[in-house]
Amino acid sequence: MENFLMSVSMFFYRVQDKVSMTMSLFVMAACIVGIVLVLFIASTKLKRISAVLAIVLSTVVSCILMIPLMTAFNSFVNKKVVNEVTDSQLAEIEARKAQIKLLAANQELKEKEKEILDNKINMQKQSIEISGLEDSLRVLQNTQLNMQSFKEILELGLLEANLKQTNLYRNRLSGISTGMGLKADQYYDEGLVVLTHDIDAKFGVDLKKIKITVSKDFPNILWIKDIQPKFLGASKNKHIKEVSEIRRVDIKNNIKTYSILNGQSEVKKANQYADLCEQEYQTRLSQGLETNFMNAAVLKLAENFIKLILSPLKKEIRFDSGLDGTTMSLEDYIEGELKEIKAKRLELENSNKNLDDETQIKEKELEKLKLKIGD
């Protein structure tokens, strides 16, 4: 807009100068013609009347006509000089404008080249990040697929140990009765059982109960808790009744005397008591109450196994039971990580596509700009 207004202004200025110079030429021509006519008249007409009058009159009139002639001449010369200077200045201004436009175009060219280069660098960075996410995705998918195998391993057992235990069971089976005083003041019956167990026990943990806590402050650290060692079963579970008997306990003068009752009913009763002791033992065994001493060893093996499971995630694994944060099961954690990585990959892929489209547009603009600069 500014250039347009300047061009219009210069146009009217030049027209005005042309008109002014033309008028100066007309004035000079008229003055010259007037002087010539005066001299002609003075030399022909007035000379016959008076030579002196002719000379004086022609001189005075010529001097008078020289005034507008010189004025018009000076105006014409000034306009000519001013126009030449103005043309020179305008040419210089146009040259500078062209140079400024060229510099601006070159600057725009460099900026577009930089923008294109930045886009390509960002695309390469995001492509590398996408590649890394795809690697993580494959690792998590493999881990997810292997979860069933991990469960089977844990169900088969992390540790198998041969346990040999000897347990003594002693319990009063009847109330205290009063004697006649000859053999005992008081007496009662008690059962005595000694059982020896030979067990090949298996120990593991419940994978579903294991919890992962993710802290916002430490996103690269996985905190594992609720690892609960448990008795899984036994491939061999034998027991031997070393002792199974009913004993009469006589008390006289606060001194106890023991005697074994070998009657048929007592033997049957002793076997029943032994069976009851065995049932109680098996119940306690299934509940893990007879194998608590193995928990520390099983826990250590479980921690090592969990580290092995999660090692592809390339995160630091720590074990803690009291950390605050988002807590979830191992399966839920892997599923959540899969969703997050897929969403991140999709976001980067869309960003790369947008950058590629933008780069193509900028490259076309760059080619047009190069052609413009060349012209």
3-state secondary structure 59-77: HHHHHHHHHHHHHHHHHHH
Whether 316 maps to a domain, the answer reads no
Q: What's the pLDDT at 272?
A: 94
For residue range 262-274, list pLDDT tens digits in order. Answer: 889 999 999 999 9
Whether 344 maps to a domain, the answer reads no
Q: Roughly how many angstroms between the first and final C-alpha of the chain, as a whole number?
A: 22
Distances in Å between the alpha carbon of 149 and those of 142, 144, 208, 241, 338? 11, 10, 13, 40, 19
Lowest mean pLDDT among 53-57, 275-279, 316-320, 368-372: 53-57
Whether 240 maps to a domain, the answer reads yes
Q: Is the pLDDT of residue 318 over 70?
A: yes
Average pLDDT, integer, range 16-20: 64
Six-digit token string for 220: 């690269």
Name the 3-class secondary structure at 12.
Answer: helix
The count of structural domains within the chain is: 2
Domain boundary among 291, 311, 338: 291
Q: Is the pLDDT of residue 68 over 80?
A: no
Given the structure tokens 């105006």, which residue do they identify? 75
Whether 31 maps to a domain, the answer reads yes
Residues 6+ apart with CB under 8 A from 322: 225
Q: What's the pLDDT at 204?
A: 85
**Which residues constitute the domain of residue 281?**
159-206+222-291
Average pLDDT, integer, range 135-151: 73
CB 160 within 8 A of CB 201: yes
User: How far is Cα 68 from Cα 23, in angstroms, rounded to an integer?
Assistant: 12
Residue 159 — very low, low, confident or very high, per pLDDT cuts 50/70/90?
confident
Given the structure tokens 């944060």, which residue do they identify? 325
Q: Is the pLDDT of residue 62 over 70?
A: no
Whether 299 maps to a domain, the answer reads no
Average pLDDT, integer, range 97-122: 79
Q: What's the pLDDT at 190?
A: 94
Residue 240 — very low, low, confident or very high, per pLDDT cuts 50/70/90?
very high
CB 251 within 8 A of CB 184: yes
Question: Both 164 and 269 in a single domain?
Answer: yes
Whether 85 maps to a domain, the answer reads yes
Could you give phi then psi for residue 126, rounded to 5 degrees? -70, -35
Question: Both 190 and 76 in a single domain?
Answer: no
> If residue 223 lies in a helix (H) or strand (E), which one and from where to where?
strand 221-225
- DSSP single-letter state for residue 174: S
Domain boundary among 93, 109, 125: 109
Question: Both 198 and 75 in a single domain?
Answer: no
Q: What's the pLDDT at 2?
A: 52
> If residue 198 lies in a helix (H) or strand (E), which one and from where to where?
strand 186-205
Listed residue (203, 170, 168) closest to 285, CA to CA:
203
Average pLDDT, integer, range 339-346: 86
Question: Both 72 and 7 in a single domain?
Answer: yes
Whether 7 maps to a domain, the answer reads yes
Given the structure tokens 């049957």, which residue do they identify? 268
- Long-range Cβ contacts of 36-44 (<8 Å, 24+ apart): 38/62, 38/65
Distances in Å between the alpha carbon of 143 and those of 137, 153, 308? 10, 14, 11
Residues 6+ apart with CB under 8 A from 144: 331, 334, 335, 338
Note the helical H segments in the chain.
2-41, 47-49, 51-156, 264-286, 295-310, 330-374
Neighbour-count burial of 62, counting CB atoms closer than 10 A to its CB (0-12 exposed, 13-18 middle, 19+ buried): middle
Question: Both 171 and 280 in a single domain?
Answer: yes
Whether 238 maps to a domain, the answer reads yes
Residues 6+ apart with CB under 8 A from 329: 208, 210, 211, 212
Distances in Å between the alpha carbon of 134 and those of 62, 221, 331, 340? 105, 21, 20, 12
Domain boundary among 243, 275, 291: 291
Q: In the predicted model, what is the mean pLDDT of the chain?
A: 78
The pTM score is: 0.54
Question: Both 59 and 164 in a single domain?
Answer: no
> If residue 172 lies in a helix (H) or strand (E), which one and from where to where?
strand 159-172
